[in-house]
């Protein structure tokens, strides 16, 4: 696991902390704790001892609203305003509750804190209305969005979806939208015009399509509301993104939303003729769990798997059994509901299937076996209530042999990618760019002419609108997409191995905007907990050598040597002098890292 934070000494820098390698399988206290919990999730159908939700949980009926209950709303508004004012004053006088939070994040945390204690004032429609509110301020054109509606047809699906697939008669429809970033749109326009005129063009470069599945606790959210994620995802990865609107709870119970996700995937593969290896599955929160469920279903039923997955704060444990549900509740933006509450999203999603599906891997992926899944990038925040279960599922993936990179962002709340004002926001999407463009194996081949025509016919229509990077409709219209759009260069990624013994820490280098960002890696000492920052631009951690020895003081000297020469780019030396410098630094780091391999 990598711990990502925003460097205060170098505002454009990204800091990474990687757990030390060691010969002992339980190489650090964090993983010792995970090892103690991992067996609790090895048996689907059996809830962990610490579960807050149980198969037999009964849900209370929604309270009956009476007109004289109006005073409760007034009291709630007054109490919440007082709480937010108090947090704002504390932020100004004593500083933020989390070091890197600005005033916007402080107020957002205060707004959602303890909201789960006032569910007598809520119902699903009112929450959907609240989540659907958006700003009407002017915005620029950063991406093209095209709404799409398609018919769900019978596909002879196997396994758990056989019954649902069997009732499809070609009348039910699903919707979604294509999102294409400005730079990608300009490139596609040029390629499509050349193809229509019969001009000879350079051979197409293999690229990716991202199937994005939004979050929202399974009962709120839409593709339009989550453009604040899908638009930057398309921009940073230079990919075409298809964002799906699946059926929501409580109108539709599990496995209905999974059926919709599978239908959308096979529509890309079978109807639009996009190769599975060219598809990346992505999702946040509940959408992250659906993304995992989709891949598990495809693997279990021997269908072609996608090329990779990007998961943002995936909600993977419906038993709510991890301790972070308690110790991060005061910081996170997720309302924590009582298990019997009528607004509990688990009860709304599973319905009468609670006893059957609570620990089913397609509903709670943490109980699954992940053998055979493609590479996965997982982002989480250390201040969210799901932080423990996300770390645990990443660990279980490692144990199952999945090539997984788990990045935990300091001071990050649940799906912090929703808050562009956070300093860690661009670091997250930069990591996604590196994962798609540099880390994943190159797509096997470019899209076929048929696939390109199919996507062109769906994307370039009269329904298309220009939107800003946060998803608002652009005031400049589609004409704004023709403006020049500079593309920042970034370094190539490079693979690095983790601990040979325990498998922890398998990582990839992070690409960056040239002249804007350096990667900063902090290594935690195994006993003292002292952190020594080392500026290693664009470099994976070097492998330890078996013939060297070191002390913690030598490690600090290696860090000092690096800090004194931050302008030298490791592994990218342009002169013999720089090459000699970096060879000396590598020897110091190799010697220091060998201390943990003894």
Of 506 and 122, the one with more pLDDT: 122
The whole-chain average pLDDT of the chain stands at 77
Residue indicated by tokens 């770390």: 391
Interval 522-551 mean pLDDT: 34
Interval 179-197 mean pLDDT: 87
Which residues lie closer than 8 Å to 541 by C-beta, 6 or more apart?
18, 496, 507, 521, 523, 589, 593
272: pLDDT strictly greater than 50 = yes
Q: Which of 319-328, 334-343, 364-373, 431-440 has the lowest mean pLDDT?
A: 334-343
Q: Which of 133-142, 438-447, 461-470, 533-542 has the lowest mean pLDDT?
A: 533-542
Percent share of the chain, pLDDT over 90: 47
What's the pLDDT at 122? 62
What's the pLDDT at 11? 45
452: pLDDT strictly greater than 50 = yes
What's the pLDDT at 293? 98
Q: What region does 407 belong to: left with phi over 0, alpha with psi -120 to 50, or beta?
A: beta
d(CA 21, CA 498): 7
| pTM recorded for the entire structure | 0.77
Residue 532, φ and ψ in degrees, nearest 5: -115, 110
Interval 225-231 mean pLDDT: 95
The SS3 assignment for 385 reads coil
Which residues lie closer than 8 Å to 286 by C-beta, 6 or more apart?
215, 216, 217, 218, 221, 315, 345
pLDDT tens digits for 313-339? Answer: 999 999 999 999 999 999 999 888 777
Cβ atoms < 10 Å from Cβ of 487: 10
Asked whether 512 and 430 are in contact (CB, 8 A), the reply is yes
For residue 365, is the peptide bond before it cis, meaning its omega torsion is within 30 degrees of 0?
no
Asked whether 508 and 434 are in contact (CB, 8 A), the reply is yes
d(CA 249, CA 260): 13
What's the pLDDT at 565? 43
- How would residue 488 be classed by pLDDT, with cut points 50, 70 and 90? very low
Percent share of the chain, pLDDT over 70: 67
579: pLDDT strictly greater than 60 = no
What's the pLDDT at 588? 52
What's the pLDDT at 427? 94
Residue of 35, 155, 28 lying closest to 399 (CA atoms): 35
What's the pLDDT at 485? 47
- How would residue 567 be classed by pLDDT, with cut points 50, 70 and 90? very low
Asked whether 338 and 52 are in contact (CB, 8 A), the reply is no
What's the pLDDT at 463? 93
pLDDT tens digits for 43-97? Answer: 888 888 888 887 877 776 666 666 666 666 777 778 878 888 998 999 988 989 8
The SS3 assignment for 447 reads coil
Interval 357-365 mean pLDDT: 96
CATH no. for 1-59+70-541: 3.40.50.1820
Q: Is the dihedral of CA 349, 130, 174, 236 positive or negative?
A: negative
Q: Is the dihedral of CA 98, 99, 105, 107 positive or negative?
A: positive
What's the pLDDT at 52? 84
What's the pLDDT at 116? 64
Of 433 and 120, the one with more pLDDT: 433
Could you tell me the CA-to-CA distances from 493 to 433, 437, 441, 538, 572 in Å, in that order? Answer: 10, 8, 11, 8, 12
d(CA 593, CA 468): 45
Domain with CATH 3.40.50.1820 in the chain: 1-59+70-541
434: pLDDT strictly greater than 80 = yes
Q: Which of 13-22, 381-390, 495-504 has the lowest mean pLDDT?
A: 495-504
Instruction: Give the E-state strand segments of 261-325 in sequence order.
Output: 279-284, 308-312
Of 586 and 483, the one with more pLDDT: 483
- How would residue 439 be classed by pLDDT, with cut points 50, 70 and 90? confident
Asked whether 315 and 289 are in contact (CB, 8 A), the reply is yes
Q: Which of 276-280, 437-441, 581-585 has the lowest mean pLDDT?
A: 581-585
Asked whether 304 and 310 are in contact (CB, 8 A), the reply is no
208: pLDDT strictly greater than 70 = yes
């Amino acid at each position: 696991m990598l711990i990502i934070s925003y460097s205060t000494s170098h505002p454009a820098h990204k800091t990474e902390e990687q757990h030390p390698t060691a010969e002992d399988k339980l190489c650090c206290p964090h993983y010792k704790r995970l090892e103690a919990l991992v067996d609790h999730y090895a048996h689907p159908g059996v809830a962990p001892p610490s579960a807050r939700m149980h198969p037999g949980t009964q849900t209370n009926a929604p309270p009956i609203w009476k007109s004289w209950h109006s005073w409760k709303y007034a009291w709630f508004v007054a109490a919440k305003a007082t709480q937010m004012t108090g947090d704002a004053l504390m932020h100004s006088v004593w500083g933020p509750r989390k070091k890197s939070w600005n005033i916007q994040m402080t107020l957002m945390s205060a707004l959602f804190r303890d909201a789960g204690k006032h569910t007598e004032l809520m119902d699903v429609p009112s929450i959907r209305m609240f989540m659907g509110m958006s700003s009407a301020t002017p915005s620029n054109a950063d991406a093209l969005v095209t709404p799409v509606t398609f018919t769900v047809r019978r596909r002879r699906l196997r396994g758990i979806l056989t019954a649902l697939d069997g009732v499809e008669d070609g009348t039910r429809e699903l919707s979604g939208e294509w999102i294409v970033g400005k730079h990608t749109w300009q490139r596609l326009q040029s390629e499509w015009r050349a193809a229509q005129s019969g001009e000879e063009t350079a051979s197409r470069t293999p690229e990716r399509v991202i199937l994005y599945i939004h979050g929202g606790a399974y009962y709120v959210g839409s593709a339009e509301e989550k453009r604040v994620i899908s638009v930057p995802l398309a921009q940073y990865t230079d990919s075409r993104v298809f964002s799906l609107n699946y059926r929501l709870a409580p109108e539709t119970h599990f496995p209905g939303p999974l059926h919709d996700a599978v239908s959308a995937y096979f529509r890309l593969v079978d109807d639009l003729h996009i190769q599975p290896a060219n598809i990346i599955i992505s999702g946040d929160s509940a959408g992250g769990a659906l993304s995992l469920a989709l891949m598990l279903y495809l693997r279990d039923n021997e269908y072609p798997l996608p090329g990779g997955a990007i998961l943002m704060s995936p909600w993977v444990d419906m038993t709510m059994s991890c301790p972070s549900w308690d110790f991060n509740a005061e910081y996170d933006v997720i309302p924590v509901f009582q298990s019997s509450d009528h607004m509990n999203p688990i009860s709304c999603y599973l319905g009468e299937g609670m006893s059957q599906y609570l620990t089913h891997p397609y509903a709670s992926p943490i109980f699954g076996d992940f053998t055979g899944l493609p590479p996965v990038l997982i982002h989480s925040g250390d201040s969210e209530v799901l932080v423990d279960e996300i770390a645990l599922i990443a660990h279980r993936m490692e144990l199952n042999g999945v090539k997984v990179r788990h990045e935990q962002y300091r001071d990050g709340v649940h799906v912090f990618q929703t808050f562009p004002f956070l300093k860690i926001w661009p670091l997250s999407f930069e990591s996604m760019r590196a994962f798609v463009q540099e880390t994943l194996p190159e797509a096997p081949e470019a899209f076929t002419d048929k696939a390109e025509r199919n996507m062109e016919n769906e994307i370039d229509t009269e329904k298309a609108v220009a939107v800003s990077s946060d998803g608002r409709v652009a005031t400049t219209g589609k004409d704004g997409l023709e403006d020049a759009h500079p593309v920042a260069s970034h370094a190539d990624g490079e693979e690095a191995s983790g601990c040979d013994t325990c498998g922890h820490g398998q990582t990839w280098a992070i690409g960056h905007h040239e002249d804007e960002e350096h990667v900063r890696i902090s290594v935690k000492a195994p006993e003292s907990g002292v952190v020594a920052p080392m500026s290693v631009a664009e470099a994976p951690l070097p492998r330890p050598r078996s013939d060297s020895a070191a002390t913690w003081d030598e490690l600090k000297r290696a860090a000092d040597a690096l800090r004194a020469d931050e302008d030298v780019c490791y592994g990218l030396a342009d002169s013999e002098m720089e090459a000699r410098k970096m060879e000396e630094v590598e020897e110091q780091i190799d010697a220091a890292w060998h201390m943990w391999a003894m």
